[in-house]
Amino acid sequence: MLYVARKFLGQRLFNKLMKMTFYGHFVAGEDQESIQPLLRHNRAFGVGAILDYGVEEDLSPEEAEHKEMESCTSAAERDGSGTNKRDKQYQAHRAFGDRRSGVISARTYFYANEAKCDSHMETFLRCIEASGRVSDDGFIAIKLTALGRPQFLLQFSEVLTKWRRFFHQMAAEQGQAGLAAMDTKLEVAALQESVAKMGIASRAEIEDWFTAETLGVSGTVDLLDWGSLIDSRTKLSKHLVVPSAQTGQLEPLLSRFTEEEELQMTRMLQRMDVLAKKAAEVGVRLMVDAEQTYFQPAISRLTLEMQRKFNVEKPLIFNTYQCYLKDAYDNVTLGVELARRECWCFGAKLVRGAYLAQERARAAEIGYEDPINPTYEATNAMYHRCLDYVLEELKHNTKAKVMVASHNEDTVRFTLRRMEELCLHPADHQVYFGQLLGMCDQISFPLGQAGYPVYKYVPYGPVMEVLPYLSRRALENSSLMKGARRERQLLWLELLRRLRTGNLFRRPA
């Protein structure tokens, strides 16, 4: 319909039509200037903005697949000289190369070249500046897949997952299978013995891995100590080997990289640094979006590294935790504990997760365990469990902050009730709420009017550049029609109430 309308109406009329309808509802405007009235209007009602410059390349599925296959394999893998074979989950698969398909409410970036990543970084920088100009407590959303070659994210994710799996394997040997991540602690003497027996490292080498401080009096190593051995910048992981889950043979954690690939990794980290520095300079907080599970361990880990550096005084960088994942609780508790231990300020956004259909289909087709909770109810329970853990932390730690990014009324009610019970006051701005622009205003605006810090995720950008994303929103909205029907019903009720009371225009309290 959009295509036909554009053809018959011509570009100008088409833009007008879009602004009066679909685009006007979900997108704030074309540029930093034109979004100002909407931002001001929302702010008057106590509703802030998470700016998201919403351009998306209009690629065909074939083009997207091609770009994905090109950018997710290393030179060593292409020429067959790679030393180890990646797990299926962390390989690019043509059938799932178009990461846009089945994705709810998220923009997708495909890697073209380094210059394109620089231009994405410039866009994020402009977004940070725009957010800094309109308020002193704004957020902007960034996606790490926009900032570098996804191959690095895939490979680093695999390394982190294998390393964590190895930890759990040794925990099982020490009779600790099935414990929650933060409760699992390896006896260092037994660990030294197993690692030496496997021929991975000598006893003396392992002694060098951990300081006396880490080991403390208990002489144990937990998952955080273990994880600290892998560092994206020191490349220690290059020297590490782990036993393969399939063959039991030792294999290197990382495959061989060319000089250019090493440079690509470094540039991605540098771009993240540039953004964080700019955000610190203008007082805008950065929310790093969570993406697909084959990228997410790396995204989350790189975000933690930024948090360590930039969340010293207050949380400037927010990590995102997807509660539809089976290991969400472990991830959240590890994040909180790391912040406690290293004395930086925890900042997180909790979401259910936007890639459900794609994740499930990929796991089933390629043949690995579905990473998503088995049911919607299990995801809800996981969300509330994670949220509860974080809220408890907020009670004791006034510098920690969380954003409850959800349209779910039960979740909002749950948060409000727990905030009251834990005496977390809205005015302290420790708990934020987040909804997408054009959705669930019946949640955002009353919260804003009642003094709770609440934010709309605000996409903006030229009509034609936002259109690919918008047309996917149109498809996705069919699954959200239940919510839309409820909103329409509420709007009618409100209209009738206003007509009855002769109070047609609502002014902010």
Ligand X SMILES: Cc1cc2nc3c(=O)[nH]c(=O)nc-3n(C[C@H](O)[C@H](O)[C@H](O)COP(=O)(O)OP(=O)(O)OC[C@H]3O[C@@H](n4cnc5c(N)ncnc54)[C@H](O)[C@@H]3O)c2cc1C
Binding site for ligand X (CB under 6 A): 104-106, 289-290, 320, 322, 324, 351-356, 372-373, 375-376, 379, 405-408, 434-436, 457
Identify which of residues 195 and 372 has a Cβ nearer to ligand X in the complex. Answer: 372
Alpha helices, DSSP H only, in 21-101? 22-26, 36-44, 61-71, 75-78
Identify which of residues 86 and 120 has a Cβ nearer to ligand X in the complex. Answer: 120
CB of 237 to ligand X, least distance (A): 26
DSSP codes, 199-261: TSS-HHHHHHHS-HHHHTTTTEEEHHHHHTT--TTT-GGGG-EEE-TTT--EEESS----HHH
CB of 52 to ligand X, least distance (A): 9
Identify which of residues 206 and 382 has a Cβ nearer to ligand X in the complex. Answer: 382
In degrees rounded to 5, what are phi and psi of residue 141? -100, 135
Identify which of residues 261 and 291 has a Cβ nearer to ligand X in the complex. Answer: 291
Identify which of residues 360 and 395 has a Cβ nearer to ligand X in the complex. Answer: 360
CB of 474 to ligand X, least distance (A): 16
For residues 148 and 423, give the distance between their C-alpha atoms in angstroms, rounded to a whole number: 42
CB of 350 to ligand X, least distance (A): 9
Instruction: Give the C-alpha distances (Å, rounded to integers) separating 400 from 312, 335, 390.
Output: 11, 12, 9
In degrees rounded to 5, what are phi and psi of residue 87? -60, 150
Identify which of residues 84 and 379 has a Cβ nearer to ligand X in the complex. Answer: 379
Residues 147 and 268: beta-carbon distance below 8 Å: yes
CB of 166 to ligand X, least distance (A): 27
CB of 149 to ligand X, least distance (A): 20
CB of 324 to ligand X, least distance (A): 4
Residue 325 DSSP class: B
Which amino acid, residue 194?
Answer: S
Helix (H, G, I), strand (E, B) or coil at 268: helix
Identify which of residues 239 and 429 has a Cβ nearer to ligand X in the complex. Answer: 429
Non-local (6+) Cβ contacts of 124 within 8 A are 53, 140, 142, 146, 275
Instruction: Give the C-alpha distances (Å, rounded to integers) separating 72 from 148, 262, 490.
Output: 11, 14, 46
